[in-house]
Protein backbone atom coordinates (compact mmCIF):
# COMPACT_ATOMS: atom_id res chain seq x y z
CA UNK A 1 0.00 0.00 0.00
CA UNK A 2 1.25 3.51 -0.86
CA UNK A 3 2.09 5.46 2.32
CA UNK A 4 0.90 9.05 2.40
CA UNK A 5 3.91 10.99 3.77
CA UNK A 6 2.22 14.42 3.80
CA UNK A 7 2.73 16.04 7.24
CA UNK A 8 -0.41 16.40 9.34
CA UNK A 9 -1.71 19.91 10.02
CA UNK A 10 -1.98 20.84 13.71
CA UNK A 11 -5.79 21.12 13.59
CA UNK A 12 -6.04 17.69 12.00
CA UNK A 13 -3.69 16.24 14.62
CA UNK A 14 -5.77 17.76 17.45
CA UNK A 15 -8.98 16.38 15.97
CA UNK A 16 -7.47 12.88 15.75
CA UNK A 17 -6.04 13.19 19.28
CA UNK A 18 -9.48 14.02 20.64
CA UNK A 19 -11.10 11.01 19.06
CA UNK A 20 -8.60 8.57 20.59
CA UNK A 21 -10.52 7.07 23.51
CA UNK A 22 -8.16 4.33 24.72
CA UNK A 23 -4.48 3.88 25.53
CA UNK A 24 -2.17 3.55 22.52
CA UNK A 25 0.33 0.69 22.99
CA UNK A 26 3.51 0.35 20.92
CA UNK A 27 4.85 -3.18 20.47
CA UNK A 28 7.77 -4.56 18.46
CA UNK A 29 11.38 -5.63 18.58
CA UNK A 30 14.16 -4.25 20.75
CA UNK A 31 15.81 -1.31 19.01
CA UNK A 32 12.83 -0.41 16.86
CA UNK A 33 12.41 2.92 18.67
CA UNK A 34 9.28 2.31 20.76
CA UNK A 35 10.45 4.63 23.54
CA UNK A 36 11.69 7.56 21.44
CA UNK A 37 8.85 7.32 18.93
CA UNK A 38 6.34 6.84 21.78
CA UNK A 39 7.56 9.96 23.55
CA UNK A 40 7.17 12.02 20.36
CA UNK A 41 3.79 10.48 19.59
CA UNK A 42 2.54 11.33 23.08
CA UNK A 43 3.77 14.92 22.72
CA UNK A 44 2.05 15.26 19.33
CA UNK A 45 -1.23 13.93 20.74
CA UNK A 46 -0.92 15.82 24.07
CA UNK A 47 -1.11 12.54 25.98
CA UNK A 48 1.03 11.26 28.85
CA UNK A 49 3.83 8.85 27.96
CA UNK A 50 4.96 5.79 29.94
CA UNK A 51 7.54 3.14 29.24
CA UNK A 52 6.63 -0.25 30.73
CA UNK A 53 10.32 -1.21 31.25
CA UNK A 54 10.84 1.95 33.37
CA UNK A 55 7.69 1.16 35.36
CA UNK A 56 8.85 -2.42 35.97
CA UNK A 57 12.23 -1.16 37.19
CA UNK A 58 10.69 1.32 39.60
CA UNK A 59 8.11 -1.19 40.89
CA UNK A 60 10.84 -3.80 41.48
CA UNK A 61 13.46 -1.28 42.63
CA UNK A 62 15.87 -3.17 40.38
CA UNK A 63 17.18 -2.82 36.85
CA UNK A 64 15.97 -5.21 34.15
CA UNK A 65 19.36 -6.98 33.95
CA UNK A 66 19.18 -7.48 37.75
CA UNK A 67 15.63 -8.90 37.53
CA UNK A 68 16.69 -11.36 34.80
CA UNK A 69 19.80 -12.35 36.73
CA UNK A 70 18.18 -12.76 40.13
CA UNK A 71 14.74 -14.12 39.20
CA UNK A 72 14.83 -15.20 35.54
CA UNK A 73 12.78 -14.30 32.48
CA UNK A 74 9.49 -15.94 33.58
CA UNK A 75 9.42 -13.75 36.70
CA UNK A 76 10.14 -10.68 34.56
CA UNK A 77 7.29 -11.56 32.16
CA UNK A 78 4.87 -11.92 35.05
CA UNK A 79 5.85 -8.51 36.44
CA UNK A 80 5.62 -7.06 32.94
CA UNK A 81 2.08 -8.42 32.53
CA UNK A 82 0.96 -6.90 35.84
CA UNK A 83 2.58 -3.53 35.14
CA UNK A 84 1.04 -3.30 31.65
CA UNK A 85 -2.38 -4.25 33.08
CA UNK A 86 -2.06 -1.42 35.61
CA UNK A 87 -0.99 1.08 32.94
CA UNK A 88 -3.87 0.15 30.63
CA UNK A 89 -6.40 0.19 33.48
CA UNK A 90 -9.92 -0.24 32.13
CA UNK A 91 -8.85 0.96 28.69
CA UNK A 92 -11.19 3.91 29.19
CA UNK A 93 -11.08 7.57 28.18
CA UNK A 94 -9.41 8.39 31.50
CA UNK A 95 -6.67 5.82 30.75
CA UNK A 96 -5.60 7.58 27.55
CA UNK A 97 -1.84 7.60 27.25
CA UNK A 98 0.93 6.27 24.99
CA UNK A 99 2.63 3.15 26.38
CA UNK A 100 5.92 1.81 25.00
CA UNK A 101 6.29 -1.88 25.89
CA UNK A 102 9.38 -4.10 26.06
CA UNK A 103 10.05 -6.22 22.98
CA UNK A 104 8.75 -9.48 24.46
CA UNK A 105 5.62 -8.13 26.16
CA UNK A 106 3.21 -8.73 23.27
CA UNK A 107 4.48 -12.30 22.89
CA UNK A 108 3.03 -13.24 26.28
CA UNK A 109 -0.47 -14.53 25.47
CA UNK A 110 -2.14 -12.89 28.48
CA UNK A 111 -0.45 -9.51 27.98
CA UNK A 112 -1.31 -9.61 24.28
CA UNK A 113 -4.97 -10.46 24.95
CA UNK A 114 -5.23 -7.56 27.38
CA UNK A 115 -3.65 -5.08 24.95
CA UNK A 116 -5.81 -6.31 22.07
CA UNK A 117 -8.97 -6.01 24.14
CA UNK A 118 -8.39 -2.65 25.81
CA UNK A 119 -5.96 -0.59 23.76
CA UNK A 120 -5.04 0.57 20.28
CA UNK A 121 -2.06 -1.60 19.38
CA UNK A 122 0.68 -0.55 16.97
CA UNK A 123 3.45 -2.90 15.79
CA UNK A 124 6.52 -0.78 15.09
CA UNK A 125 8.77 -2.59 12.67
CA UNK A 126 12.23 -1.92 11.17
CA UNK A 127 14.63 -3.70 8.86
CA UNK A 128 17.31 -5.80 10.56
CA UNK A 129 20.22 -3.38 9.88
CA UNK A 130 18.32 -0.52 11.56
CA UNK A 131 17.54 -2.74 14.58
CA UNK A 132 21.17 -3.81 14.91
CA UNK A 133 22.44 -0.25 14.66
CA UNK A 134 19.97 0.94 17.30
CA UNK A 135 20.45 -1.88 19.83
CA UNK A 136 24.18 -1.13 19.82
CA UNK A 137 23.42 2.21 21.52
CA UNK A 138 22.47 0.52 24.83
CA UNK A 139 24.05 -2.26 26.80
CA UNK A 140 21.17 -3.22 29.11
CA UNK A 141 19.34 -6.00 27.23
CA UNK A 142 19.82 -9.41 28.91
CA UNK A 143 18.61 -11.33 25.85
CA UNK A 144 21.43 -9.85 23.76
CA UNK A 145 24.20 -10.64 26.22
CA UNK A 146 24.97 -14.06 24.81
CA UNK A 147 25.85 -15.07 21.28
CA UNK A 148 25.82 -12.98 18.15
CA UNK A 149 23.46 -9.98 18.25
CA UNK A 150 22.38 -10.25 14.60
CA UNK A 151 21.60 -13.96 14.92
CA UNK A 152 19.67 -13.44 18.16
CA UNK A 153 17.64 -10.61 16.69
CA UNK A 154 16.86 -12.59 13.53
CA UNK A 155 15.74 -15.59 15.62
CA UNK A 156 13.62 -13.48 18.00
CA UNK A 157 12.00 -11.60 15.13
CA UNK A 158 11.08 -14.88 13.45
CA UNK A 159 9.71 -16.33 16.68
CA UNK A 160 7.75 -13.18 17.46
CA UNK A 161 6.47 -12.06 14.07
CA UNK A 162 3.19 -13.99 14.30
CA UNK A 163 2.43 -12.35 17.66
CA UNK A 164 3.37 -8.85 16.50
CA UNK A 165 1.25 -9.33 13.38
CA UNK A 166 -1.85 -9.52 15.60
CA UNK A 167 -1.48 -5.83 16.51
CA UNK A 168 -4.16 -3.60 15.01
CA UNK A 169 -1.66 -1.52 13.05
CA UNK A 170 1.69 -2.28 11.40
CA UNK A 171 3.90 0.77 10.96
CA UNK A 172 7.43 0.88 9.58
CA UNK A 173 9.92 2.81 11.68
CA UNK A 174 12.66 3.48 9.15
CA UNK A 175 16.12 4.92 9.65
CA UNK A 176 14.73 8.43 8.95
CA UNK A 177 13.53 10.95 11.55
CA UNK A 178 11.13 9.70 14.23
CA UNK A 179 8.67 12.47 13.33
CA UNK A 180 7.95 10.61 10.09
CA UNK A 181 7.12 7.44 12.02
CA UNK A 182 4.86 9.45 14.33
CA UNK A 183 2.89 10.78 11.34
CA UNK A 184 2.57 7.23 9.98
CA UNK A 185 1.21 6.00 13.32
CA UNK A 186 -1.30 8.85 13.60
CA UNK A 187 -2.53 8.21 10.06
CA UNK A 188 -2.85 4.47 10.73
CA UNK A 189 -4.85 5.12 13.91
CA UNK A 190 -7.01 7.69 12.15
CA UNK A 191 -7.97 5.16 9.48
CA UNK A 192 -9.69 3.06 12.15
CA UNK A 193 -11.34 5.76 14.27
C1 LIG B 1 13.05 -7.46 25.87
C2 LIG B 1 13.12 -6.13 25.47
C3 LIG B 1 13.52 -5.05 26.37
C4 LIG B 1 13.23 -5.41 27.83
C5 LIG B 1 13.86 -6.75 28.15
C6 LIG B 1 13.33 -7.88 27.27
C7 LIG B 1 12.65 -8.48 24.89
O8 LIG B 1 12.81 -3.85 26.04
O9 LIG B 1 11.85 -5.48 28.07
O10 LIG B 1 15.25 -6.61 28.02
O11 LIG B 1 12.27 -9.59 25.31
O12 LIG B 1 12.66 -8.20 23.68
P13 LIG B 1 13.07 -2.99 24.68
O14 LIG B 1 12.26 -3.62 23.60
O15 LIG B 1 12.58 -1.63 25.04
O16 LIG B 1 14.53 -3.04 24.44
141 C-alpha to center of ligand 1: Å? Answer: 6
| Per-residue pLDDT at 186 | 96
98 Cβ closer than 6 Å to some ligand 1 atom: no
Q: How far apart are CA 117 and CA 104, in angstroms?
A: 18
Residue 91 scores a pLDDT above 80? yes
Calpha distance 91→120 (Å, rounded): 9
Whether pTM > 0.85 for this model: the answer is yes
Residues 6+ apart with CB under 8 A from 81: 105, 108, 110, 111, 114
Q: How far is the CA of 154 from the centre of ligand 1 (A)?
A: 15
pLDDT of residue 7: 76
Which atom of ligand 1 is found nearest the CA of 100? 15
Question: Under the phi-then-psi rule, with left for phi > 0, alpha for psi from -120 to 50, and beta for the rest, what region is 24?
Answer: beta
Per-residue pLDDT at 21 exceeds 70: yes
Percent of the chain past pLDDT 90, that is, above it, reads: 87
What local confidence, expressed as pLDDT, does residue 5 receive?
72
Rounded distance between C-alpha atoms, residue 96 and residue 139, angstroms = 31
Distance between CA atoms of residues 81 and 11, nearest Å: 36
Mean of all residue pLDDT scores within the chain? 94
Query: Is the CB of 102 inside a 6 Å radius of any atom of ligand 1?
Result: yes
pLDDT in tens, 135-158: 999 889 999 999 999 999 999 999
What pLDDT does 130 receive? 95
Phi, psi (degrees; rounded to nearest 5) at 49: -120, 135
Residue 7 has φ and ψ, to the nearest 5°, of -65, 150
Looking at residues 79-83, what average pLDDT do you find? Answer: 98
The pLDDT, as a whole number, for residue 4 is: 66
Which atom from ligand 1 is nearest to the alpha carbon of 28?
14
- In this structure, are residues 79 and 56 in contact, taking their beta carbons and an 8 Å threshold? yes
Amino acid sequence: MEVDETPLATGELDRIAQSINRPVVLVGMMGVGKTSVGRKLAAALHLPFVDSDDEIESAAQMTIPEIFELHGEAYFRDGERRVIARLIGKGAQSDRKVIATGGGAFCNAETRALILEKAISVWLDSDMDTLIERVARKDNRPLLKQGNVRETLIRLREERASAYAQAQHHVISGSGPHGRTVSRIVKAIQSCL
